[in-house]
Amino acid sequence: MKPLGPIPPGFESIGGVLAIAGQPVTQLVEAAGQTPLFVYSSQRIRARIAEFRAAMPARLALHYAIKANPFAPILDLMQGLVDGFDIASGGELRAMLAAGVDGARISFAGPGKRDAEIEAAIVHGVTLNLESEGEAARAFALADRLGMTPRLALRVNPDFDLKGSGMKMGGGAKPFGVDADRAGALVRTILDSGAEWCGFHIFAGSQALDAGAIAETQGRTLDLAARLGEESGVAVPRCNLGGGLGIPYFASDTPVDLGDVGARLGERFETLPEVLAGTRFCMELGRYLVGEAGVYLTRILDRKTSHGETFLVTDGGLHHQLAASGNFGTVVRRNYPCAIATRFDAPVEEEASIVGCLCTPLDKLAEKGGFPRAEVGDLVAVFCAGAYGASASPALFLGQGPALERLV
């Protein structure tokens, strides 16, 4: 048997059925009228944000990186819970404006911004995290034409990465940001342009679980921001320390010790150099805030054996759960946390693989896991489905179409 990932905290069984926020998933599916279905728990999102606030220094603001989950009801919920939003496309900007979010609370990163996207950001008072000298020149020209003062921050490609992170976003040659050794000069150019200077965005990596590595990266990020501030000759107004906080997806993963990260950042905040004394700091998080709050529910359509192995075939698959299938940024496929939701507290009785309905061998939701014996009609739950699920999977593949989503 291959191990399954750890089921996140906060899920219980009611009469043997998985319940989300006190509602058995059978009821949730019935109310929605179909599977596959993503269910996101607002209570889990609130609890996670409260944990973050309690552990981190009060001076650190919290932004939501909406690419993790741009479902409109989640954006509405987040408005009352976070201090700002980070977007990475014009489409995400439209989603934010539709949710009624003030542009002053939004920052826009991402390599390859179109002129129309830069223009919309300037018009709405969104902070542009500039990714290159060329993008800066385009922003100056567009702001001139509009007769407006753009809010400009600089994304810096740090000369270090986040150790142990699942996705490295800095260190060495990268398409993101301006290399640290050219950043000071570009800050001078931005200041000379008359733009509103909004400071630095330094994102070294994501999906890290080791508190020591995260704290070390944050320390180096502060050192870099201080060095660049001194080089440019002006105090740093704002500094986005990036993200980095991961969630446990696989059997050997353990949660980040956030208390440790917060304590160490708090110590650093007490000894900041003059150039950072008045800086407003934030972190931008996606999966850490919403990942564990989401469950993907799919129904078993067929139960079959092949060469002695049992396959449970569902009406879902990688078209909604690309990451769980192991095809989104993983080298070795490992099982996400997964359960037979309608036999949630039954003991393990057999080894089975849970597969999707797509005609491709890539479409695996759980490989050779230990499960209670499940039958056609049972519901399967894939956990850690709140981030990079619905929005980061090829929903149109094989003519399937998107899953339903619900926030409860």
Ligand X SMILES: *Cc1c(COP(=O)(O)O)cnc(C)c1O
Alpha carbon distances (Å) from 282 to 24, 60, 77, 203, 345: 37, 5, 19, 11, 41
Tokens of 318: 């990688």
CB 367 within 8 A of CB 335: yes
* Residue among 111, 105, 72 nearest 88 (CA): 111
Alpha carbon distances (Å) from 235 to 232, 269, 286, 340, 378: 8, 15, 29, 55, 60
Q: How far is the CB of 384 from ligand X (least distance, A)?
A: 12
Question: Nearest-CB residue to ligand X?
Answer: 286
Virtual torsion, Cα 168, 172, 175, 177, nearest 10 deg: 90
Is 359 an active-site residue?
Answer: yes
CB of 226 or CB of 290, closer to ligand X: 290
Tokens of 276: 């950072």
CB of 221 or CB of 314, closer to ligand X: 221
CA distance 261 to 348: 37
Q: How far is the CB of 388 from ligand X (least distance, A)?
A: 7
CB of 323 or CB of 339, closer to ligand X: 323
Q: How far is the CB of 289 from ligand X (least distance, A)?
A: 8
Alpha carbon distances (Å) from 201 to 39, 237, 239, 337: 32, 11, 6, 33
CB of 210 or CB of 284, closer to ligand X: 284
Tokens of 32: 């929605």
Q: Which residues bind ligand X (CB under 6 A)?
A: 65, 67-68, 86, 88, 109, 203, 206-207, 243, 284-288, 387
CB 295 within 8 A of CB 39: yes
CB of 67 or CB of 364, closer to ligand X: 67
Q: How far is the CB of 155 from ligand X (least distance, A)?
A: 8
Of the residues 198, 357, 359, 384, which is catalytic? 359
Q: How far is the CB of 304 from ligand X (least distance, A)?
A: 36
CB of 67 or CB of 319, closer to ligand X: 67
* Residue among 266, 85, 261, 287 nearest 206 (CA): 287
**Beta-bridge partners for 154:** 130, 200
CB of 28 or CB of 215, closer to ligand X: 215
Q: How far is the CB of 203 from ligand X (least distance, A)?
A: 5
Q: What residues have CB less than 8 Å from 292, skipping those under 6 apart? A: 8, 9, 10, 44, 48, 247, 383, 384, 386
Q: How far is the CB of 283 from ligand X (least distance, A)?
A: 9
Q: What residues have CB less than 8 Å from 335, skipping those under 6 apart? A: 2, 3, 4, 5, 250, 251, 366, 367, 369
CA distance 75 to 256: 25
Phi, psi of 116 (to 5 degrees): -65, -30
Q: What residues have CB less than 8 Å from 215, skipping those under 6 apart? A: 260, 261, 264, 265
Q: How far is the CB of 145 from ligand X (least distance, A)?
A: 27
CB of 109 or CB of 275, closer to ligand X: 109
Alpha carbon distances (Å) from 402 to 30, 320, 395: 18, 7, 5
Residues taking part in catalysis: 359
